[in-house]
Structures are given as structure tokens and as C-alpha cells.
């Protein structure tokens, strides 16, 4: 019997007849929860509650999936479709009387982490976390330096964490990767480990990374003139004076996710002929075709104005653009819509989708595709 | 001069040097790992001299900042040339694939395919000519061999080679190998053994190939002529796609495209890609 036709574990349990606590206990002890069987995923909760839901942000599914209690037990379950290679973050919501509570799944040890907290995560059949994002003892590590760059544009001293590759030499010349939301990329997307490994494996060029620490990111990253001026007129000269950087457009890339991707595009748009490539992950490129109801709240107002302006008069702002987005995030529609807009300007565009959401792990998992596109390593030159 | 070309040395087939033979090694393709040659030295019999060309190169760059700056700029120009050429080749190859798949009349399709293959050959030839010209301009402008930092190293390398009858060139980064072999004017002695990138550097035209695509890179040392060497072909080329392999063979003809599999010892043992894409 194949996996796709075999009855689900939860159904086999139900068919056993009256269930007692020990039977449920033994059942759970044999399972990895949620139970992934082919394209089906069974979420479980064990405990007393009046109602239980799975909450998630998967586009196309109801926001809350209600679990049903198995008769005579304190075990709750719901079955959801989970396509291959999916990765879904979720929580459980419980109602006890008038009291509502959101918790991570106590039966699932897998957690994802982000600046707004952790959540549970389930992997569809075939999903494999990238081994190049794990520490590799064979890899020589690069170095992180903390810099403070005085900024008149931002009216503050801007913190920048600088990544120097292993074997950094003053007599070499390096491309520069400017990373928005730098600390989050380092902490939640393992950016240093990823860079160390991909450089070591000749997949990405030896590069210098400038990981920016934002101030109020919802302001600075929402098409801010000040931010674009800081990056272009203050940060670039500061770094290019002090480090052996390839000070040509082809040697400069702006990377960002979500609002950070808006900041990357907006910075390149405001300073044409400065940046050779953009790496845009799940960009918050919300726009309106008519009217002003974009549904994103006030923080998105300047973003929508910028995206609408860009879509009305698109122009090439770099040679190469890498765009990625998860198909489960609401931003998939805006991102798909931007791809032909970018392509029509004559920029070279590579677009990658994944069965994932608006999450740091999604952005981490796409870094190899993106970085090897914008700054390819010397793989084609190496024949051991 | 006898030249022995080997396949990749994952499972080493290189043999110890005969008694009385003095062997020099070039492991510069390994770049910063150049000095990790104990295993190689052991395989060759334990009495080799590593020319340390990568280390010498870094020494020159530190000692002569003016040349270092000029070289950086020179390499950047070459990289730009390579990138733009690769872009053209990529588009030309995509066009060839689309033509091959088109539902046009066979005769029309064949003519268009012949044109697209000719366009690729033209791109290759023009690229190699430009690379040669840029390198010649750099040589003429900077005369690296006459600068103290380089001249000293060249003299030391020449002194080592004077007492050497065998040169062993390993794999690694073929661009680095070509550069340092040229910078330090390494003239191969009586016998040469080379594999992977080392063998590619010996050819008259170095062709890069990865992810199923091939690019002309630069003229090589010209010790092996009319031959394009393809080590690691199984991992880098569509070996189960005769149409694309045949296109590759026709593109670089009349040179032979020779697949260097693991364990191959000698050019005549390498399998040759035919114009029909069959490898025999």
C-alpha cells in the first residue's frame, strides 16, 4: 500500500473503538507531531479546552483551522493538505471559557524564530533544511567587525556589522553586499554561516557584507530619502575609503527582505547607476491598481505610493535582480506582479518561489540561489 | 618533452617519480592551500620541490603595490570581458536550444542551427582575441617581468627548474594557475605530469564548462594543442544529452574534446566527444 492511499494514522486510531488515556498516550509516543503522511498533515492537541484552532498565515487556507475532539478523549485533531517540500509556521489557539490563548504546539519540538517571537513549524514531505546553512568544520570562518558610521542623513550614528571573508587581503578587491535588517539576517537567517560556507565552496564570490542596523525600520525602509542618501552618499564612501572594495556598480548589491526589500529597491531607484544588483526577498511591494485601499495600514502608505510610482514608470535600476517569495505569503501576488515589471525594463531577473511563508528561514533557504546569482563564485574556474 | 595528462586524482593514480628524477610541483591552483602538499609529495616519492607560485604571487603583490593596483584593475577588466561574453554565449545557446526544439521544416531548422553554431564560434574567437589583446596591453604597459619583485621570484623559480626534469601541475583554480605560470615564466622541463585544471592550463585554448555550459576562457600554455580537456565532465556536462554534447564538439572543432574521467592516464585513454554527441 502506498503512502498516498494508506489510511491516516488518526483515522486508524479512531477506528479502534473506545479509546482510553493509555491508548492515546501510546499513539502519541509513536508519532512525530504534526503527523505528516504524504500530502496530508494531522495537527494534534491533547488537553482540556472548549475550542482549539491551528492558526497560521498560509494564503488560501482559512486563518484558523478548528480541531475536533476525539470522542471520549482529550485528544483534538485536524487534517490539512501539506504539499511536498512545504514549510509552514503555526500556533495553536485555545479557548477556555472566555479566555483565549495562543501557544506553540507542545507536541512539536520544532520551532522557528523571528524578531516577533517563535512559532511552531511543520515540514512537508521532501523538505530539507539546507546543509550549507549549518556550521561546517571544514569551512574557514570570516570575521565580523562592529562599525559606527556617522550619518547626517539619518541624524544618528548608524551601526553597521561588517563581514570580512576568510583570508581577507588588502591587496584583493571585494564586491560589497549591503544587507538591510542586518542583525536579523545574522541571527535568524544564519547569514554569516551561509556566507562562510558558500564562499568556501566556491559558490559565491569572496565578498564584504555590510549588515545595517535600522533605526525605525518602518520609517527608514519605507522609501525614505534619508535612508537612500545614507547608504549611497555616506556608507559607500565610508567603506570604500577604508576597505579594498570593487567600487563599481557591478560590485555593489543591495539585499533586503519584506520592508528591507522596499528599501533596497527604493535606494537603487533614487540612485541610478550606483548598484549592479538587487536581492529582493518577499518584498512588501504592495500596490493599488485603482483607489487607495491597499489594506496594509498606515505604515504601508509610503510603500504603496512608491510601488505605484515605480509600476507607472518602471526603469532599470540595476543590471541584475533576484526576486524570491513564498507562495504561502500574502505578498506572493505583489511579488509575482513585479517580475514582469522588472523584466520589461531590460534588467536581468531571476525569480524563485518556494512553498514557504513570510519567514526568516524562507529567506535563509533562498540565499544560495540569490547570492550565487548576484555574486557568483569561481566554481566554473575550479577543477580539482 | 613528454606530457602525461591524468584524470582527476580523487583516487590518486599519479605514480612515484623514477629514482634520480628531480620533480618540481605546482599546487598554486589550490590557492591558499598551496602548501598542503604533504600527501602529493608522498605519492611522488617524497623528494619534490614545490614552486610555491601562489605564495610568490602574494609576496609580489605585497612588495609592489603599484603593480598590485594595476593587476587588480587588469583582472577586473578581464572579469568584465568574461561576464559579458558569458552573457552573449548564454543567449546564443538558448537560441540554439529553441531552434532545435522548433517545429519548423527540418531543412530550415538545420540552416538556422548551423548559423547559431557559427555565431557561437565567432563569439569564442572574438573573446579569445580580446583577452589576448588586453593581456598584451597589460604586459606592454607594466612589463611585470622587469619589475624587481617579479624578477627576483622569476630568478628563483628558474633556478629550481634548472635542476628539474619533471614538472607536476595539480588541479584547482585554472585562472590562478595560468596567471602564476605566466607571471613567473615557468617553462616546462623535459617531462610534465598534470591533471584537471593543471592539464587544462597546458592546452592552447582553455575552455571552462559547468552546469552544462561551456565558455572559452583564455589561451593556455600551448603544450597540448588542438585539444579541449574536460575533467569532471560527468558532474559538469549533460553527458546523457547527445544533442548538446555534439554541439559542444562541433563548436570547438577541429580541436578534440577529451573527457578526462577518474583513473584516465594519458590523453589517448580519454574518451572523445564526437560531432554526433556520442562519447567514445
The tens digit of pLDDT for each residue in A241-265 reads 999 999 999 999 999 999 999 999 9
From the list B65, B83, B171, which residue is nearest A384 (CB)?
B171
From the list A248, A379, A384, which residue is nearest B210 (CB)?
A379
Write down the pLDDT at residue A6.
78
* Chain B residues closer than 8 Å to A381 by CB: 173-176, 197, 208, 217
d(CA A113, CA A33): 19
Cis ω on the peptide bond leading into residue B159 (within 30° of 0)? no
Label residue A16 by pLDDT band (50, 70, 90). Answer: confident
CA atoms within 13 A on the CB side of B255: 21
Q: Residue with C-alpha cell 547607476? A: A273
β-partners of residue B23 are: B48, B166
Residue A117 scores a pLDDT above 60: yes
Strand-strand pairing, A277-281 and A320-326: parallel
pTM score of the predicted model: 0.95
Contact B171 A169 (CB under 8 A): no
Nearest-CA distance from B107 to chain A in Å?
33
The ipTM, to two decimals, is 0.97
A167 touches chain B (CB under 8 A): yes
Q: How far is CA A93 from the centre of its chain?
A: 24
Contact A384 B61 (CB under 8 A): no
Write down the pLDDT at residue B11.
85
Contact B173 A382 (CB under 8 A): yes
Residue A3 scores a pLDDT above 60: no
From the list A172, A380, A384, which residue is nearest B210 (CB)?
A380
From the list B29, B32, B68, which residue is nearest A167 (CB)?
B32
Nearest-CA distance from B175 to chain A in Å?
6
Average pLDDT taken over every residue of chain A: 96
Write down the pLDDT at residue B190.
84
Write down the pLDDT at residue A4.
52
A172 touches chain B (CB under 8 A): yes
Label residue A5 by pLDDT band (50, 70, 90). Answer: low
Write out the residues of chain B at the interface with chain A, using a CB-CB cutoff of 8 A: 8, 10, 29, 32, 58, 61-62, 65, 68, 72, 75-76, 80, 83, 171-176, 196-197, 200, 208-211, 215, 217, 231-232
Residue range A67-93: average pLDDT? 96
* Chain A residues closer than 8 Å to B215 by CB: 380
Burial (0-12, 13-18, 19+ Cβ within 10 Å), A141: middle
Residue A273: which region, alpha, beta or left (left: phi > 0; alpha: psi -120 to 50)?
left
Residue range B196-222: average pLDDT? 96
Q: Residue with C-alpha cell 533544511? A: A129
* Chain B residues closer than 8 Å to A169 by CB: 58
Nearest-CA distance from B198 to chain A in Å?
8
Contact A382 B197 (CB under 8 A): yes
DSSP string, A258-275: THHHHHHHHHHHHSTTS-
Find the farthest-apart pair of alpha carbons in chain A and give their distance in angstroms, rounded. 76
pLDDT tens-digit series, residues B107-139: 999 999 999 999 999 999 999 999 999 999 999
A381 touches chain B (CB under 8 A): yes
Write down the pLDDT at residue B209.
96
DSSP string, A154-165: TTEEEEEEEEE-
The answer to whether residues A39 and A82 touch, using CB atoms and an 8 Å cutoff, is yes
pLDDT tens-digit series, residues A287-341: 999 988 888 899 999 999 999 999 999 999 999 999 999 999 999 999 999 999 9
Residue A172 scores a pLDDT above 90: yes
* Chain B residues closer than 8 Å to A379 by CB: 210
d(CA A352, CA A281): 10
Q: Is A137 helix (H, G, I), strand (E, B) or coil?
A: coil
Contact A382 B174 (CB under 8 A): yes
Residue range A122-140: average pLDDT? 97
Q: Which chain B residue has the Cα nearest residue A173?
A: B72
Contact B61 A171 (CB under 8 A): yes
A346 touches chain B (CB under 8 A): no
**Proportion of chain B above pLDDT 70, given as a percent:** 100
Interface probe, candidates B175, B203, B213, chain A, greatest A C-beta count within 10 A? B175
Least confident of A154-163, A225-234, B3-12: B3-12
Nearest-CA distance from B9 to chain A in Å?
8
Write down the pLDDT at residue A2.
42
pLDDT tens-digit series, residues A91-115: 999 999 999 999 999 999 999 999 8
d(CA B59, CA B54): 9
Nearest-CA distance from A8 to chain B in Å?
40
Q: Is B176 helix (H, G, I), strand (E, B) or coil?
A: helix
Q: Residue with C-alpha cell 584583493? A: A172
Write down the pLDDT at residue A101.
97
In terms of Cα–Cα distance, which of A304, A291, A355 is closest to A326? A355
From the list B72, B174, B176, which residue is nearest A173 (CB)?
B72
Residue A1 scores a pLDDT above 50: no
Amino acid at each position: 500500500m502506498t503512502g498516498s492511499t494508506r489510511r491516516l494514522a488518526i483515522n486508524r486510531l479512531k477506528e479502534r473503538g473506545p479509546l482510553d488515556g493509555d491508548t492515546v498516550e501510546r499513539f502519541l509516543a509513536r508519532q512525530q507531531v504534526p503527523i505528516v503522511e504524504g500530502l496530508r498533515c494531522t495537527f494534534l492537541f491533547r488537553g482540556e479546552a472548549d475550542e482549539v484552532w491551528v492558526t497560521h498565515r498560509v494564503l488560501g487556507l482559512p486563518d484558523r483551522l478548528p480541531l475536533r475532539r476525539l470522542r471520549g478523549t482529550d485528544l483534538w485533531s485536524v487534517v490539512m493538505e501539506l504539499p511536498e517540500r512545504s514549510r509552514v509556521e503555526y500556533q495553536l489557539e485555545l479557548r477556555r471559557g472566555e479566555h483565549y490563548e495562543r501557544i506553540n504546539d507542545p507536541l512539536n519540538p520544532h520551532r522557528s524564530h523571528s524578531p516577533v517571537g517563535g512559532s511552531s513549524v511543520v515540514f512537508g514531505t521532501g523538505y530539507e533544511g539546507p546543509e550549507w546553512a549549518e556550521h561546517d568544520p571544514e569551512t574557514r570562518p570570516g570575521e565580523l567587525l562592529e562599525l559606527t558610521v556617522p550619518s547626517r542623513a539619518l541624524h544618528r550614528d548608524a551601526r553597521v556589522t561588517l563581514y570580512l571573508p576568510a583570508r581577507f587581503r588588502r591587496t584583493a578587491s571585494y564586491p560589497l553586499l549591503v544587507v538591510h535588517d542586518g542583525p536579523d539576517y545574522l541571527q535568524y537567517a544564519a547569514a554569516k554561516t551561509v556566507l562562510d560556507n558558500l564562499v568556501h565552496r566556491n559558490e559565491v564570490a569572496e565578498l564584504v557584507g555590510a549588515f545595517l542596523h535600522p533605526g525605525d525600520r518602518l520609517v527608514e525602509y519605507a522609501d525614505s530619502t534619508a535612508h537612500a542618501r545614507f547608504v549611497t552618499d555616506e556608507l559607500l564612501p565610508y567603506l570604500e575609503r577604508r576597505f579594498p572594495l570593487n567600487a563599481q556598480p557591478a560590485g555593489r548589491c543591495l539585499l533586503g527582505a519584506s520592508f528591507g526589500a522596499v528599501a533596497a529597491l527604493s535606494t537603487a531607484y533614487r540612485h541610478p547607476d550606483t548598484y549592479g544588483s538587487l536581492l529582493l526577498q518577499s518584498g512588501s511591494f504592495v500596490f493599488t491598481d485603482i483607489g487607495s485601499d491597499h489594506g496594509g495600514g498606515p505604515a504601508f502608505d509610503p510603500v504603496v505610493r512608491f510601488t505605484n510610482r515605480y509600476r507607472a514608470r518602471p526603469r532599470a535600476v540595476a543590471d541584475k535582480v533576484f526576486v524570491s517569495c513564498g507562495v504561502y505569503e500574502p505578498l506572493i501576488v505583489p511579488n509575482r506582479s513585479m517580475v514582469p515589471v522588472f523584466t520589461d525594463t531590460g534588467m536581468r531577473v531571476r525569480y524563485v518561489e518556494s512553498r514557504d511563508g513570510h519567514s526568516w528561514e524562507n529567506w535563509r533557504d533562498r540565499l544560495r540561489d540569490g547570492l550565487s546569482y548576484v555574486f557568483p563564485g569561481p566554481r566554473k574556474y575550479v577543477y580539482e | 618533452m613528454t606530457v602525461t595528462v591524468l584524470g582527476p586524482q580523487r583516487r590518486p593514480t599519479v605514480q612515484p617519480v623514477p629514482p634520480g628524477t628531480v620533480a618540481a610541483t605546482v599546487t598554486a591552483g589550490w590557492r591558499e592551500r598551496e602548501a598542503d602538499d604533504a600527501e602529493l609529495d608522498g605519492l611522488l616519492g617524497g623528494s619534490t620541490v614545490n614552486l610555491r607560485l601562489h605564495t610568490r604571487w602574494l609576496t609580489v603583490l605585497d612588495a609592489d603595490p603599484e603593480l598590485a593596483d594595476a593587476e587588480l584593475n587588469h583582472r577586473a577588466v578581464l572579469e568584465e570581458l568574461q561576464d559579458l561574453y558569458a552573457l552573449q554565449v548564454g543567449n546564443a545557446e538558448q537560441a540554439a536550444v529553441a531552434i532545435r526544439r522548433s517545429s519548423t521544416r527540418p531543412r530550415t531548422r538545420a540552416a538556422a542551427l548551423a548559423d547559431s553554431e557559427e555565431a557561437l564560434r565567432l563569439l569564442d574567437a572574438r573573446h579569445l582575441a580580446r583577452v589576448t589583446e588586453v593581456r598584451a596591453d597589460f604586459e606592454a604597459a607594466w612589463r611585470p617581468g622587469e619589475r624587481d619583485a617579479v624578477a627576483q621570484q622569476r630568478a628563483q623559480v628558474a633556478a629550481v627548474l634548472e635542476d628539474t626534469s619533471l614538472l607536476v601541475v595539480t588541479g584547482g583554480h585554472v585562472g590562478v594557475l595560468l596567471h602564476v605560470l605566466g607571471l613567473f615564466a615557468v617553462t616546462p622541463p623535459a617531462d610534465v605530469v598534470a591533471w584537471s585544471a593543471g592539464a587544462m592550463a597546458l592546452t592552447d585554448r582553455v575552455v571552462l564548462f559547468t552546469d552544462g555550459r561551456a565558455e572559452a576562457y583564455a589561451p593556455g600554455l600551448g603544450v597540448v594543442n588542438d585539444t579541449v580537456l574536460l575533467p569532471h565532465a560527468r558532474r559538469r556536462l549533460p553527458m546523457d544529452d547527445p544533442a548538446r554534447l555534439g554541439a559542444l564538439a562541433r563548436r570547438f572543432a577541429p580541436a578534440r574534446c577529451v573527457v578526462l574521467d577518474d583513473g584516465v592516464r594519458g590523453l589517448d585513454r580519454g574518451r572523445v566527444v564526437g560531432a554526433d554527441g556520442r562519447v567514445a
